[in-house]
Amino acid sequence: MKMGCQKVLFIEANPEVYKRLQEHIKGKENVLAANVTISDYNGSINLHVTSFDQSSSILPLKEHKKIYPAIQEVSQREVPCEPLTV
């Protein structure tokens, strides 16, 4: 890979963004994506989906909303979560 990485794992909580990511990495060796949220427990968690995909988070918009007022929460959805184990 260009940057010297042997393997790359993308972790994406938002199922809609994950679908687009899957299409983008299709056919790329050693590049994987997981549709999960990293947390300290197994289960599910609320994802705050925003008008700008990269700002979606399990945390509600606070200071981010002040800095980027055009970005708004558009929905919330329950997504799977699990601890990261290595």
Per-position pLDDT tens, the chain of length 86: 566 778 999 999 999 999 999 999 999 989 999 999 999 999 999 999 999 988 999 999 999 889 999 999 999 999 999 999 87
| Number of domain units in the chain | 1
Q: Which two tokens stand for residue 2?
A: 């260009």
Q: 41 in a domain, yes or no? A: yes
The pTM for the full model equals 0.82
Report helix, strand or coil for 34.
strand
Distance of alpha carbon 84 from alpha carbon 86, whole angstroms: 7
Q: Which two tokens stand for residue 8?
A: 């790359």
Which DSSP symbol is given to 20? Answer: H
CA distances from 70 to 3, 49, 57, 59, 74 (A): 34, 14, 16, 18, 12
Q: 14 in a domain, yes or no? A: yes
Q: Which residues constitute the domain of residue 69?
A: 8-82
78 membership: H or E segment, kind and range? strand 73-82
